[in-house]
Structure 1
Amino acid sequence: MLNDDNDGTVNWRIRTDGGPVAETGLIASHVWFSEESATWTLISDPANQTAPGPLVHFAIGTAFCFHTQLCRYATIRRLPVDAPRLAQLTRFPASDFKPLDTRLFLHGRLSGEDATELMTAAANTCYAHRALAVPVEQRVATTHKRPG
């Protein structure tokens, strides 16, 4: 469920379940936003040997979300940007999280002010970037069943 309480706060309810796949020892994680939405299944390997580790999925999702929001905003604002490209370096050391190092390559006739506004809007509307910037409340319930 997504709702806006008109004070600048947007609340997401992201539902997930998962567990080990007996045949492979990998982890299957199912993620969805509401009963009506599609369910995504991510297969990960905590050892990062035969499948991506869980943090790899998060890093890829963060880059994808940021780039998607950036392209949407540029299109809506009709900004003169051609083929925006993104390169992201993500490090997850065992004891300390380091910020994402995201490089954006914009081709077109965009002013510096418009480029800054574009990147700020993308970061503010990307749920993963927002989650990295604010405390995230988590509630775990083990009785909710995943939709069909």
Structure 2
Amino acid sequence: MALHESRTPIVRKVCESSDPDEHGSSLQPVQKREVVLRLEAESLENMRKRATVRVDQPKGSTFEIICDEGPYLDGDDTAPPPLAYYSASIAFCFLTQLSRYATVRKLKIRSMKLTQETRFTMEGSIIKGTLAGQGVEVVTHLDIESDEPEEAIRQMIEVGKNSCFIHQSIMNPVPSTIQAKVNGQLLS
């Protein structure tokens, strides 16, 4: 590993860009909105990758994120692997929605912690072109400290699950399109 790699931040803000008119808009009791993120990623040395992700809607900041793989995939283990970011994004999104609901409903939550196990599997052969990966299971455990009635907590969890974009993308897969260019020409 090169010395500069170990000093490169894994996550850094590249550009501050939010719209004051949109601050707090997601805390409204009723809403209809779309969230749009734009991302550019590139492979670096070994198994490191860099992504620049911008929140376009609602207008948000731009961050640069580095990932790596562990030695089992010939990586240098200098940053979390892609699946760690994926797993964390599930937890972060769910906790955001739970916190959002508690704020709007003025629930008194002393603490909210989450543990999660995310499982994947891969089978096949790279040489034969049959290698295929898939998600197996996401198991989430919540530990909530609150004097609110159990029904209020159940409702918070249900709304949190239903409004979590990532949980919903897992439970109801979204269309995915891959378009590629090789030497500037669209690969058909």
Task: List aligned pairs for 1:1-148, cutoff 5 A.
Answer: 11-22=34-45, 25-34=47-56, 36-46=59-69, 47=73, 49-50=76-77, 51-94=79-122, 95-140=133-178
Instruction: Structure 1: state its 5+ residue gaps.
Output: 1-8, 144-148
After superposition, the CA RMSD in angstroms is 2.6
Larger Rg over CA atoms: 2
- Structure with bigger strand share is 2
Q: Calculate the TM-score normalised by the size of structure 2.
A: 0.61
Q: Distance in 2 between matches of 1:53 and 1:83?
A: 29
Instruction: Structure 2: state its 5+ residue gaps.
Output: 1-31, 123-132, 182-188
Identity %: 26
Q: Distance in 1 between matches of 2:53 and 2:145?
A: 35
Deviations 1:14-56 (A, max 9, x none): 322111124x651112222328432222211243641221111
Given that 1:55 and 1:92 are in contact with CA atoms closer than 8 Å, whether structure 2 keeps it comes out as no
Q: Distance in 1 between matches of 2:96 and 2:61?
A: 18
Deviates more, 1:35-44 or 1:105-114: 35-44
Given that 1:14 and 1:32 are in contact with CA atoms closer than 8 Å, whether structure 2 keeps it comes out as yes
* Secondary structure at the counterpart of residue 31 of structure 1: strand
Given that 1:28 and 1:42 are in contact with CA atoms closer than 8 Å, whether structure 2 keeps it comes out as yes
The alpha-carbon deviation at position 10 of structure 1 amounts to: 6.4
